[in-house]
Structure 1
């Protein structure tokens, strides 16, 4: 499989006009790495717990699901270089607003991936990750309501 990325994470995936399965899996893993790193940093800087602690645990599960796919297809798991792409918000309200946009972008990315003909196991993982993004979007919306 040939890897030809147009960027990083969901931004790269949404801009990429032609995706291979490896491209999709790589973009998805990059995105999950970045989310985990961002939510960890938010907790470290702001002492925030909910919803970041729960969502960070979800990101760990998502990363494991994607790594399992890489292993099943005999592919090398990309390194986690998400620290180069994480932007820390100025406050918790901005963090929640950023989370909303990230989840909207994730949903769009997985919707795009699911328009391709994919092996069922890959499609199932992408669908599960998309559904998780919908749930996380709701958590960030609630956080905005609490902080506004």
Structure 2
């Protein structure tokens, strides 16, 4: 009888140890999972650097497009892009406010380097949009908070549309026909027949 009692006591003790160990293991695993998931999202310093890089790029783009319009007395596609840059800046500004980051203040107009010709301006615009897309692609490789990711995805799509506009302008051959093509993210130019402004003699983008 005593042996049976000892066996029962021993079994209860072992079961208690196993249960305690199992519970500890589960809690440890859960804590490790939470810590791992938290570590997967980039920290606020990285987000701050991304946002600063992004908004400075948008400020400079807006200043350059405006300067090109003034120098060469042209409108599209630069006028559309100036308006778009204002939208992009507003989207980023909202994130600056949410994360408590101070907006950069610089003399953007004096930082602009103007091309020598309108043709060079189109080429510079195309290259700038390609660089902009690559920048946001590199940002989106990181695990970002949803609100930051959504803004970057919106901005990369906008840059792709701008890139197509410059490519169409370069393809205009004086007949009002622009080559149709696909952007990096699948946006298609709207048909092969381009609109033409007969007074200005330029392809309307």
If the TM-score is normalised by the length of the shorter chain, which range does it land in? 0.7 to 0.9
Alignment correspondent of 1:61: 87
Counterpart of 1:96 in structure 2 is 122
The separation in 1 between residues aligned to 2:51 and 2:106, in whole angstroms, is: 13
CA separation in 2, counterparts of 1:81 and 1:119?
31
Which of 1 and 2 has higher RCO (CA within 8 Å, sep 6+)? Answer: 1
Counterpart position of 2:47? 21
1:127 to 153, 174, 179: 153
Number of residue pairs matched? 130
Q: Which has the larger radius of gyration?
A: 2
Q: 4+ residue stretches of structure 1 with deviation over 2 A?
A: 80-85
Gaps of 5+ in 2: 1-44, 175-205
Match of 2:131 among 72, 91, 105: 105
CA shift, 1:78, in A, is 1.1
The TM-score, its normalising length taken from structure 1, stands at 0.83
1:75 partnered with 2:63: no
TM-score (norm 2): 0.61
Structure 2 CA distance for aligned equivalents of residues 66 and 81 of structure 1: 19
